[in-house]
Amino acid sequence: MHLESASHLLAEMSTEPRDQGICAFMRIILCDDQTVIRKRLEMLLRLQADIEVVGSAENGAEAVRMAEQLQPDLVLMDLKMPGMNGI
């Protein structure tokens, strides 16, 4: 995903929880070999009240280790990376 696409999608998301009766909190690990993209996406996600970024990895192997340890709800991973890709 390009940084502009991610920024556009997150800009459309409200900073308020979607369901006012129940706050659905999502724990996310980010994985991208491009540091600038990963850090920018992390910054944008941290603006969301119902999202917690619990980890940030720069390669697939690191993301797998983090996922096993942290048990996130979602791993947002780049598909094209050296070594282990996002698939």
How many separate domains does the chain show?
Answer: 1
Q: Name the 3-class secondary structure at 29.
A: strand
| Residue 85 domain-assigned (yes or no) | no
The enclosing H or E element of 56 equals strand 51-57
The sign of the CA dihedral 62, 65, 71, 73 is positive
Hey, what are 53's tokens?
A: 């970024």
In a domain, 87, yes or no: no
Residue by residue, pLDDT tens for the chain (87 residues) are 455 555 555 555 545 545 555 557 899 999 999 999 999 999 999 999 999 999 999 999 999 999 999 999 999 999 988 888 777
* CA separation for the pair 12, 36 (Å, rounded): 21
Alpha carbon distance 14, 55 (integer Å): 22
Asked if the structure places residue 20 within a domain, the reply is no
CB 55 within 8 A of CB 81: no
Within-domain flag for 82: no
Containing domain of residue 57, as a range? Answer: 3-15+25-77
Is the residue at 38 inside a domain?
Answer: yes
**Does 65 reside within a domain?**
yes
CATH number (domain holding residue 39):
3.40.50.2300
**Structure confidence at residue 24 (pLDDT):** 74
